[in-house]
Structure 1
């Protein structure tokens, strides 16, 4: 067997694999003899079928199978040994007048080669790194929400501005008949608020659905309809009051601190606010980090210039899908995937140039950290190390989960690298301003 490569240009090559009869004949003969031992052909005893008849019936298909196995094994070995960085997979070239009866067979494969390029982490243009702070207003609002969540309901005889009013919404034409609780602080419509004030159990009012709430998503839940239906709903509904309550906030005392943070962890309102600020800013940091990762990614895609073997890749997409594509379909698929492919190459280059590796032990510790945070959400704040080890082993035993966690850990390593070496400028703001600036 002989394998040679013809370099077409920097991004394309053709590999020719020449196979002689000596490369495959022994294997083919052995399989034919095994077939003969097992063959059941009318008119012959088992194992006594003439070898010539076996060759006539099965010889060509066995030859093709064995040659294809040789091709696959040796072509992959060649690409590895020659350290050829190929994109997609080798594509067999159409060869007219190919004859399987020849003693010497030659097969040609097209290769698309990865481009050679450089990536500079020291970006020319500074990239914004957001630092989101939990300001005093946000912390105080969070304290208020916690007090209300753990407070108690006090029954009232008539509605005032901060109450929670339970009742039934009805509109026969729209088939609406749903019992729900309104928090008056979330109502936007001044007309509806005025109509509710002073009302008692058993009273009814008519409200317009459009612009009823400060947050539009609340309408679907109180009316018992889908978000899609509630989105443009502009009707009048009847609301009959069945219950009026005022939520009395929980006192800021040790009992509340223990419920929220665990026994003895927090002992004062000051410590509570410091903890809320700390926890909030940890969550904000995750959002800011994701924004930074996205922005650095976009920067590299836009500013790292290299060519791709686009013609080869389009042909590869056309030929290797579950179903063959037309040329136009393949061009469209390539256009959709090109940006992702470019970043895969850029990311791979950054990983290689900076010697970034994933070790199993650090992946295991990363998985344990993820598991620990999941357990904390369900009140398990101090799991034993043995328990974490066992769960991590099960998680990493799942191929899909192991891949997902590996990708997350690699993203974290890349993020740390960008924070260290990229040209970043820090911009500090509160969460509300961050949302406005980033998401409009």
Structure 2
């Protein structure tokens, strides 16, 4: 066997593989002998079928199969040994007058080569790193939410503004029959609200779904309809009232503080608000970091220039999926994925240049931190190390979880690299200001 490579240019090459009879004949003979031992052909005892008949019936298929196996193994080994960084997979070139009846075969493959380039983390204009904080209005709303959550429900006979009305939404044609507890404040428009204010248990209220709530997603929750249906739903529904309750807010006292944060951890309303701000800062910190990742990614794509083997990649995209694409479809798919491919290459270069790696011990510690955070959300503040180790071991025994966590950890390492190397400008904003500035 002989393998040679012709470099067309810096991004494209053709690999030529010559296979002779000596390379494959032994493998083919072995397979045919095994076929002969197990062949069941009428008129012959098992294991006594003439080899000529076996070759006539199976020879060509076995030859093609063994040569293709040999070809793939040789090509993969060559790419590894030559340390060729290829994009996509090698594409076989069509060859005229190819004949499986010959003893020697020549195969050619097109290669798309990864470009050589450098990545700089230096930027003249600073990138904004948002430090997102909870504004006073958000803190006050969160205090009220906690008071409602831990408050009492007081049964009432007649519904008033601010009450909760429990009942059943119904529309037989649409298959809607959903029990719901509906805060009157959620209802949109005075006309609709007036139908609920003054209602008593047993009353039947008829309303239109269109414009019933500020957010159509509330229809999903209260009427239990699917997402796509909720956005276009425009029907009348009957709401049969079963009970009315007033939400009495919990007192902002030590009993509530201890329920929320543990005995003696918070002792005043001021400390409660500080705690809310602290928890919000942790949550918003992730959003600020994610935006930083996005902005640095855009900067790197914009500033890191290199060519790609575009024609090769379009040809590869044509045949890479389950269904073969047309040239136009492949071109469109390439244009959609080019930006992502460019950043994959940039990211790979950064990881290599700065020797970033995910070690198993790092991954295990990262997994335990995530588990600890999730347990804290359910009130388990101090789990034992053995429990964390056992859960982490179960998670890390699954390949999909290892892949997901490894990607998250590498993103974290890249984020730390950006914070150290990139020219950043910290900007403190409330969450509302952040949304307005970034998304609007």
**Number of the residue aligned with 1:278:** 278
**Number of the residue aligned with 1:111:** 111
TM-score by length of 1: 0.88
**Number of the residue aligned with 1:253:** 253
SS at match of 1:278: helix
Per-residue Cα deviation, 1:153-212 (whole angstroms, up to 9, x for no partner): 234455554333446667899887766444344445245556766676677877776655
**Number of the residue aligned with 2:290:** 290
Tell me whether 1:22 sits opposite 2:22 in the alignment. Answer: yes
**Number of the residue aligned with 2:141:** 141
Unaligned runs of 5+ in 2: none
Cα pair distance change 1:190/1:404, threshold 3 Å? same
CA distance in 1, matches of 2:24, 2:199: 93
Cα pair distance change 1:91/1:276, threshold 3 Å? same
Q: Return 251-260 or 76-85, whichever deviates more.
A: 251-260
The answer on whether the counterparts of 1:92 and 1:110 sit within 8 Å (CA) in structure 2 is: yes
**Number of the residue aligned with 1:120:** 120
Tell me whether 1:86 sits opposite 2:86 in the alignment. Answer: yes
Aligned-residue offset at 1:296: 1.8
Aligned-residue offset at 1:125: 3.3
SS at match of 1:297: helix
**Number of the residue aligned with 2:305:** 305
Per-residue Cα deviation, 1:352-387 (whole angstroms, up to 9, x for no partner): 111111101111111111222222223322222112
**Equivalence map 1:11-410=2 (5 Å):** 11-156=11-156, 158-166=158-166, 180-192=180-192, 212-219=212-219, 221-222=221-222, 231=231, 243-410=243-410
Q: Return 50-59 or 85-94, whichever deviates more.
A: 50-59
Cα pair distance change 1:229/1:321, threshold 3 Å? closer
Q: Return 347-356 or 313-322, whichever deviates more.
A: 313-322
The answer on whether the counterparts of 1:91 and 1:109 sit within 8 Å (CA) in structure 2 is: yes
CA distance in 2, matches of 1:87, 1:393: 35
The answer on whether the counterparts of 1:147 and 1:251 sit within 8 Å (CA) in structure 2 is: yes
CA distance in 1, matches of 2:368, 2:377: 14
The answer on whether the counterparts of 1:119 and 1:304 sit within 8 Å (CA) in structure 2 is: yes
Per-residue Cα deviation, 1:297-347 (whole angstroms, up to 9, x for no partner): 222223322211111111112223223222222222222222221121111
Aligned-residue offset at 1:216: 4.7
CA distance in 1, matches of 2:121, 2:314: 30
CA distance in 1, matches of 2:75, 2:340: 27
Q: Return 318-327 or 201-210, whichever deviates more.
A: 201-210
Q: Return 133-142 or 230-239, whichever deviates more.
A: 230-239
Unaligned runs of 5+ in 1: none
The answer on whether the counterparts of 1:154 and 1:248 sit within 8 Å (CA) in structure 2 is: yes
Q: Return 377-386 or 213-222, whichever deviates more.
A: 213-222
CA distance in 1, matches of 2:324, 2:233: 46
Q: Return 134-143 or 218-227, whichever deviates more.
A: 218-227
Q: What's the C-alpha RMSD, in Å, of the aligned pairs?
A: 3.0
Q: Return 360-369 or 100-109, whichever deviates more.
A: 100-109
Per-residue Cα deviation, 1:213-242 (whole angstroms, up to 9, x for no partner): 454543554556566565466788777766
SS at match of 1:9: coil
The answer on whether the counterparts of 1:186 and 1:215 sit within 8 Å (CA) in structure 2 is: no
CA distance in 2, matches of 1:430, 1:318: 47
Cα pair distance change 1:172/1:101, threshold 3 Å? closer
Cα pair distance change 1:418/1:49, threshold 3 Å? same
CA distance in 2, matches of 1:305, 1:362: 33
Cα pair distance change 1:93/1:172, threshold 3 Å? closer
CA distance in 2, matches of 1:173, 1:394: 47
CA distance in 2, matches of 1:11, 1:232: 50
**Number of the residue aligned with 1:6:** 6
CA distance in 1, matches of 2:192, 2:141: 25
TM-score by length of 2: 0.88
Per-residue Cα deviation, 1:34-77 (whole angstroms, up to 9, x for no partner): 33333333444433333333333333322222222221112111
SS at match of 2:287: helix
Cα pair distance change 1:152/1:18, threshold 3 Å? same
